[in-house]
Structure 1
Amino acid sequence: MNNPTIPRLTSLSHGGGCGCKIAPDVLAKLMHNTLPVGPFPQLMVGTQSSDDAAVYRLNDEQALIATTDFFMPIVDDPHDFGRIAATNALSDIYAMGGRPIMALALVGMPLKSLPHDTISAILAGGAAVCQAAGIPIAGGHSIDSVEPIYGLAVMGLAHPDHIKRNDQAQAGDLLILSKPLGVGVLSAALKKDRLDAVGYQAMIESTTRLNTPGTQLAALDAVHALTDITGFGLLGHTLEMCRGSGLQAQIDYAALPWLPDVPALVRDGILTGASARNWTACQAGVTLDATLPPEAQALLTDPQTSGGLLIACHPDIGDQVMALLQADGFTQAARIGRLSAGQPHIQVS
């Protein structure tokens, strides 16, 4: 992408990655008058719990998991953009405890602005990730759009008894995060030409790492709830878990893992507009300790793209979960807090 006549992918979109998501409070208002789902007795997970994917029971041994995810470029390299978008879409299947089986491509491209080779590289990046996951891209749909958009609709399978929802956490559960935070900050730094090669490589390695441990975690009864951390940031998605499960969370700020230089970049004013939007949406359910650094609010609400799994499990299997994650290459996985009885709320200290 060194040809000056070819526009930077990130210059063609008003947002990037999961930072494009509609804020959760706005989304709730938009869906307020949506007709209720049902009665569909085989629908195990629908829209009622703000979960990662829909789940439909096929029989006593199989449940179908279905999800879709797409967004505008978070990086300028087209192959990397395709890889990130595909990894992010597949994550919702793993976050439900499933195994992906097939994907459909969702493609919207400004054909007058981007060379066909660039668009082909985006599609090739997505296909490479699906090949690594062992699934085909079996079709899809494409349109000529103003901004570049790419993603997948993905289907997966799981045993009905192994589905991991985001609203089944229990009081006393340990909270474990599988990936470091800060993708939104690094993407903002990239747009401002403030991201060095080390930071870029760390961002790519994180956002293209498939959340495959979700399938293994599904077999553990003491893993009570799963979700992935994406556009609403750590606070937004943790609050969804708290509200769905009727619990409160205590997060240890010092235990949170970060991608390289992320806190320093925020102190220098590098952050996304989506972090302020996320704070507006969740602040009524969050208390930040007065001793936290000034940048904590922006960091905790930073929108993640293809972020890690947030795992709620019994403390007795904390070591087992950590070992499973680290064996699969999630070397920055960390215990970040606990859940307890009480009104849904997050305390960060």
Structure 2
Amino acid sequence: MTELRLTQFAGGGGCACKIPPGELDDLVATLARTGGPPVSPAAPLLVGLDGGGDDAAVVRLDAERAIVTTADFFTPVVDDPYDWGRIAAANALSDVYAMGGTPWAAVNLLAWPRETLPMELAAEVLRGGRDVAHAAGCQVSGGHSVTDPEPKYGMSVVGMVHPDRMLRQDAAEPGRPLTLTKPLGSGVLNARHKTTGTVFPEAVEVMAALNRDASLAAVDAGIRAGTDVTGFGLLGHAYKMARASGVTLAVDAAAVPYLADARAALADGFVSGGTRRNLGWVESHVDFGNTPDGERLLLADAQTSGGLLLAGEVPGYPVIGEVLPRGEAPVVVRA
């Protein structure tokens, strides 16, 4: 078991295995256009497909309560099964935190190659997910599993949020600072780990860390616009927020924090296909100015269980730019 490397059983790793953002945009737009039968007004949808691609769906229960529901799963991002479980759970829970909510209950989503990987490894994955969910105060009970040649794990999560205190992508207002609550660079480090087996403990702990405290602080500070930074990279998620809010987001490249070994991994060529697809998708929507090519790749780096991007200042977290009135480009990078 100790010689098995989980990342070798996956074509991609973590959130870098997502469907490319441009293709996903087209897919979701098709679903939104076709609509569907009306639903009961007793449970109005506050955030759905037409909200600009938010991190979760939100349904109002009453004046003070709304349900947040989401699902997230991905292929192995690290070789250690327990750490993969922790990271996948933190990433799924993050969708609730990205809406300003509190996760209450979750169920596991597991795909496993029974013929090639021992079930003891699957148990470690589930244990890691359970431990992180319990640390968040979120119950975990059961779930769904299938046999699959490629291992995948995540969670479906239900949480609660106050309808008037939500974070959402379409609420960014000009004049607000931009805050980022976790450093970037997990994508290039995960690519290096997959190729070489080198473990980056800082990256593992950052990916497994909950966005709970940042979310609570943002809501308490009166912030109402935010998203989490995952597979589409900082620039991809910034573009989605700018597009939904009708503003321009200016990112100060020198202010963006990175994990310690990220630049070295980039210099050595460990860039995932997901990161390159991200950059190809956003480059026509971003004014890069004189930003070097390497910096552009890092800003588009496909993150796994990244931090929150917030339109407002949160004490203790770095300000990386500002929200501007809509200009020629939805996103501007200042070198």
Cα distance, 1:39 vs. partner? Answer: 4.6
- Whether the 8 Å CA contact 2:28–2:49 is kept in 1: the answer is no
Runs of 4+ in 1 over 4 A off after TM superposition: 37-41
**SS in structure 2 of the partner of residue 137 of structure 1:** strand
The question of 1:47 aligning with 2:72 is answered no
- Whether the 8 Å CA contact 1:101–1:156 is kept in 2: the answer is yes
Cα distance, 1:79 vs. partner? Answer: 0.3
- Whether the 8 Å CA contact 1:18–1:305 is kept in 2: the answer is yes
The question of 1:164 aligning with 2:163 is answered no
- Whether the 8 Å CA contact 2:253–2:333 is kept in 1: the answer is yes
The question of 1:339 aligning with 2:332 is answered no
Q: Quote the Cα distance in structure 2 between the aligned partners of 1:38 and 1:104.
A: 28
Structure 1 equivalent of residue 300 of structure 2? 301
The question of 1:58 aligning with 2:57 is answered no
Give the letter for the 1:27 counterpart.
Answer: L
The question of 1:187 aligning with 2:190 is answered yes
CA 1:227–1:119 in 2, change beyond 3 Å: closer, same or farther?
same
The question of 1:215 aligning with 2:216 is answered yes
**SS in structure 2 of the partner of residue 103 of structure 1:** strand
Give the letter for the 1:299 counterpart.
Answer: L
Deviations for 1:165-193, whole angstroms, at most 9, x for unmatched residues?
11100011100000000001000110121
Q: Which runs of 5+ in 1 are unaligned?
A: 324-332
Cα distance, 1:24 vs. partner? Answer: 1.6
**SS in structure 1 of the partner of residue 170 of structure 2:** coil
Q: State, as a whole percentage, how many aligned pairs show the same letter.
A: 43
CA 1:38–1:164 in 2, change beyond 3 Å: closer, same or farther?
farther
Give the letter for the 2:104 counterpart.
Answer: I
- Whether the 8 Å CA contact 2:68–2:158 is kept in 1: the answer is yes
Cα distance, 1:38 vs. partner? Answer: 6.8
Structure 1 equivalent of residue 24 of structure 2? 27
Q: Quote the Cα distance in structure 1 between the aligned partners of 2:124 and 2:87.
A: 13
Cα distance, 1:279 vs. partner? Answer: 1.2
Q: Normalising to structure 1: TM-score of the pair?
A: 0.90
Structure 2 equivalent of residue 326 of structure 1? none
Cα distance, 1:217 vs. partner? Answer: 2.0
Structure 2 equivalent of residue 9 of structure 1? 6
Q: Quote the Cα distance in structure 2 between the aligned partners of 1:30 and 1:99.
A: 29
Q: Which runs of 5+ in 2 are unaligned?
A: none
Deviations for 1:56-95, whole angstroms, at most 9, x for unmatched residues?
0011111000000000000000000000000000001001
Give the letter for the 2:330 counterpart.
Answer: H
- Whether the 8 Å CA contact 1:235–1:301 is kept in 2: the answer is yes
Give the letter for the 1:114 counterpart.
Answer: L
Pairing of 1:253-332 with structure 2 (within 5 A): 253-290=253-290, 292-313=291-312, 318=313, 321-323=314-316
Structure 2 equivalent of residue 235 of structure 1? 235
Count of aligned pairs: 326
Structure 2 equivalent of residue 245 of structure 1? 245
Cα distance, 1:139 vs. partner? Answer: 2.1
- Whether the 8 Å CA contact 1:83–1:125 is kept in 2: the answer is yes
Cα distance, 1:248 vs. partner? Answer: 0.6
Q: Quote the Cα distance in structure 2 between the aligned partners of 1:152 and 1:29.
A: 25
**SS in structure 2 of the partner of residue 117 of structure 1:** helix
Q: Quote the Cα distance in structure 2 between the aligned partners of 1:211 and 1:39.
A: 35
Give the letter for the 1:102 counterpart.
Answer: A
The question of 1:137 aligning with 2:140 is answered yes
Q: Quote the Cα distance in structure 2 between the aligned partners of 1:32 and 1:203.
A: 34
Give the letter for the 1:21 counterpart.
Answer: K
Give the letter for the 1:126 counterpart.
Answer: G
Structure 2 equivalent of residue 224 of structure 1? 224
Q: Quote the Cα distance in structure 2 between the aligned partners of 1:206 and 1:131.
A: 18
Give the letter for the 1:193 counterpart.
Answer: T
Structure 1 equivalent of residue 157 of structure 2? 154
